[in-house]
Amino acid sequence: MGRKTFLSVGFDFPGDGVEKVDLLSDRSLLDADIVVFRPDKYVFRVSAATSKTESLIWHWRGELRQALEHGKTVIVLLCEGDEKDVLNGVLDSNYSAIPFVDVEFIFKETKSHRPNQNTRVIDQFMKHFQSNFSVHVYLEGQFDLTLLTTKTGGKAIAAIKKYKAGTVVFLPDIDFNTDEFVFENLDTGDMLWTEKAEKYGKLLESTIIEIDNNIRASLERSPAPDWVQETMFILAKEAEIQVRIDKLQTQIDAKRHQIDALSERLNEEGSLRRLLYSTGKELEDTV
């Protein structure tokens, strides 16, 4: 097998070994074997200012779901959360882009934690990056493996969850934004990675590959015989649930198209409103 390919969404991998994808982009995730996803709350605030939050959420929700259905591994870095009330009364957040209705993200911080079960899956991550990660989110839900919990209360802060053919690994957020890892170029004003950061970037990449290899080995199941896939052997309850899933997915896709169409209309109406007080070139171009 060749070198595994990475895409890092919303997370600045030190160095240039991993391609970074902007959270505001419409990039597909199917190009990668492993996806690192960090739902930066500040990017979602920017999108809220331009009325694009819902379409942004639906884009990444769809991309992450599709990536998992195709057997990808998704590493979610649990950065700070940000909740807001949307117009329909639903509580929304930057974590709404994660496609799990059975996982709740509790925005609380802690500085203490303890290993739970099967922590060897992330042994190298703990060894090299424990001093660099921060806990901003507790997890509630059903997981295949709970890796780290709070010392008090046993709340999950790192876990693994299988979804279709893929796997999601929830890990504490990693902070490389310190003087140890970045410095300012006084001539250009650009922020650059230090030599240590470059080394840590390569180390993080190899660590994530090891996590991917470990979870594939620990969660691997014996292949089912061909007859299991035959329609005539599908249990009635399975068929009922699948019909409900398909129906909900169709509704979600329809809502997504409605959101995109309404966003376009909103931009058009905003343009017309601005013309009420526009003069000069902008008004001439419209006329």
pLDDT tens digits, 175-205: 888 889 999 988 888 889 999 999 999 999 9
Residue bearing the bigger pLDDT, 143 or 51? 143
What's phi and psi for 158, nearest 5 deg? -150, 130
**Under 8 Å between Cβ of 85 and 92:** yes
**Cβ neighbours of residue 150 closer than 8 Å, sequence gap 6 or more:** 110, 112, 113, 114, 135, 138, 157
pLDDT tens digits, 200-241: 999 999 999 999 998 778 656 544 445 444 554 455 666 677
Residue linked to tokens 């299988």 = 162
* Axis crossing angle, helix 41-49 with helix 53-69, rounded to the nearest 10: 130
- pLDDT for position 239: 63
CATH level 3 topology of 6-221: Rossmann fold (3.40.50)
pTM of the model: 0.75
* Domain ranges, ordered by start, for the chain: 6-221, 225-287
- pLDDT for position 160: 94
Structure tokens at 85: 């009330």
CA distance 252 to 260: 12
**Under 8 Å between Cβ of 148 and 116:** yes
Confidence of residue 17 (pLDDT cuts 50, 70, 90): confident
* 3-class secondary structure, 234: coil
Mean pLDDT over the full length of the chain:
82
Structure tokens at 87: 């117009």
Interstrand relation of 191-193 and 83-85 (parallel, antiparallel or unpaired) = unpaired
**Cβ neighbours of residue 129 closer than 8 Å, sequence gap 6 or more:** 174, 204, 207
Length of the chain in terms of residues written: 287
